[in-house]
Amino acid sequence: MSENLNELNNDNLEKFNKAIGALKNSLNMNPKNHNLYIKLGNEYLKLNRFELAFKSYLSAYNLEPNDPEVSLCIGNTHKKSGNLNDAASAFLNAIKIDKKCKKAYKNLSNIYFHLGRHKEGLEYLYKVEGFIQFQIDNGVSVSKGNI
């Protein structure tokens, strides 16, 4: 859901609250299910409740530290809250866990571009399989990736 928090109407807020309540109830019955923590974090993230989202993702990470999806979620939370260096660390961790995690490469590339670290941004973008060749004004050429 890409709605801005300010644009949420009462019906949508009620849907989020119901979803969050249902996930919390499920977690009470199955507190070791890291996927439920990811889903709960996703709901909080949609509401821009970054601390609660991060807390949920951290719980998921503590249960399943080798799931790259958890690191992606943590990275996206940092990215949305403006903590770009922390986001980069989380995306690097996702790549460390899964060398073929395309979402991590793309997100990391984006973060590096925003940080003005263009060479590193291109390096990670280049690694994405199926990346289309293009030329940049300064003559740098990038061709198909290799992951």
More confident residue, 17 or 69: 69
The contacts found for 74-81 with CB under 8 angstroms, 24 or more apart, are 75/104, 75/107, 76/45, 76/107, 77/41, 77/45, 77/50, 77/53, 78/54, 79/107, 79/111, 80/45, 80/48, 80/50, 81/50
pLDDT digits (tens, 9 = 90+) for 76-100: 999 999 999 999 999 999 999 999 9
For the chain, the domains span 5-117
Q: Which token pair is 116?
A: 């003005």
pLDDT digits (tens, 9 = 90+) for 52-81: 999 999 999 999 999 999 999 999 999 999
pLDDT range class, residue 135, cuts 50, 70, 90: very low
CATH number of 5-117: 1.25.40.10
The β-bridge partners of 63 are none
pTM metric for this prediction: 0.80
